[in-house]
Amino acid sequence: MKIRVIAAFVLFIFMSCSSKNEETIVFWISGFKPVCDMGAGNTNCLFISKTDNLQQENWELFYSAIEGFEFEEGFLKKVKVLVTAQDDAVAADQSAMRYTLVKELDKTEDSRVLLARDWELESMADQTLQTNHPTPSLTFNLSGMQINGNAGCNTYTGNIKELGLERITFDNLLNTLRICEAQSVEDSYFSAIHEVKSFKVKNDKLYLLDKDGTLKLTFTQMTKTKHRIRINDIWAAVRIEGYPINRMVTVPGLEVNTTEMKIYGNDGCNDYFGTVKDLTETAFTIENIGPTRKMCPDMEIPERYKQALLKVRTYTFNERILILNDDNGNEVLAFMKVD
C-alpha cells in the first residue's frame, strides 16, 4: 500500500511539472511574411493573430519556428501549437520555448495578398480623374510593410502602420517637393490617403475607405507596366545628387534591360553590371553591382556615381528625364535618354 501511495505521489509531481513546462495555444498565421530583425540580421517572420475571431484580429510578428508547420503564401491558417519550455542550456540566439504543430484547424485565403500589385488611380471619391492629368499610382510591399508610388507629379513612400483583413492605415508618408501643374490633384490624393482606414479588393479593383466607410480612392490593377517599358532603354547621366555633371568629363551611362532584369553601363571610368532586384511602376532597386578596376586620372565622378547607384529605391519620369530617388524620395541620379 505504501509503495502505491509513493508511486501515485511521484506521478502527481511529474504531471504537475509537465503541465508547468508545456501548454497548447491556438492562433492564426497570415499568408505573407513581413521582414523582421532577428538580432543577427533581417529575415522573414510569421505574422500571427492570437484572437479566435478574425473580425477582431490583432497581428504581431512571431520570431520562432513551428516544428511541423508548412507555410503557404496567400493562405491564412488556424493552428493548435504545443509550447514546451526548453532546457536551461539554450543557445543565446534561440527561443526559450519550443513550438510544435499539434493540428491545423482551419485554412482560408488571405485577402491582403491581393494588395501586392501595381495599382493605377481611377477616381477620388466619386470623381473620375481628368485624362489630361498624370495618373497617381500605388504599389504595396507586404514584406517590408511599405507603400510607394507617384502622386501625379511627386513620388512618395510610406509605412503600412496597420494591416488587418479589412483594416489598413499608413504613416510616415514622405514625398518629393517638386512644383506641379496639377497640384490640386496631388494635394487631394495625399489628403485622401491619410484618411484611409480600410480596404476592399474585388474584380481587379482596390477600394480605400475612411473610418466611416466612405469611399476615398478607387484603383485599377495595372494590366501592363507602362514605366517598366519606358525605363528599358539606354540613358546618359545629367545630374548626381542634384548637381549637373561637368560635360568636360566622361559622362556615366546606364542601360536597363527589363527582360533580363540586368543593368549595364560605365561610371565615367569603369564598365559595370548589376542585377535589378525590384522593379515596379515606381520601385527600382539594384544589387550585385560589379565594376572593372581601372584607375583613371579623375575618379571623383565615378566614385560619386557608384555611391549614388547604391541608394536608388524609386524612380519617375519628368518628360525625357529619368529620375532615380533614395528611400526618402530625394533625387540621387538623373538621366537623359540616349537617342
**Tens digit of pLDDT at every position of the chain (339 positions):** 443 433 333 333 333 444 558 899 999 999 999 988 877 678 899 999 998 788 789 999 999 999 999 999 999 999 999 999 876 545 555 668 999 999 999 999 999 999 998 898 999 987 777 656 678 889 898 988 999 888 887 888 899 999 999 999 999 999 888 777 778 888 999 999 999 999 999 999 999 999 999 999 999 987 655 677 789 889 999 999 989 987 778 899 999 988 788 999 999 999 999 999 888 878 899 989 998 988 898 899 999 999 999 999 999 888 778 999 998 888 999 999 886
For 315, the 3-state DSSP assignment is strand
Q: 131 burial class (0-12, 13-18, 19+ CB within 10 angstroms)? A: exposed
From the list 206, 219, 51, the residue with the least C-alpha distance to 120 is 219
Whether the Cβ atoms of residue 147 and residue 160 lie closer than 8 Å to each other: yes
Whether the Cβ atoms of residue 172 and residue 89 lie closer than 8 Å to each other: no
The torsion angles phi and psi of 33, rounded to 5 degrees, stand at -120, 115
Cell digits of residue 245: 555633371
pTM, entire model: 0.65
CA distances from 323 to 179, 238, 256, 289 (A): 15, 10, 13, 19
From the list 31, 112, 37, 119, the residue with the least C-alpha distance to 78 is 31
**Total Cβ atoms within 10 A of residue 277:** 12
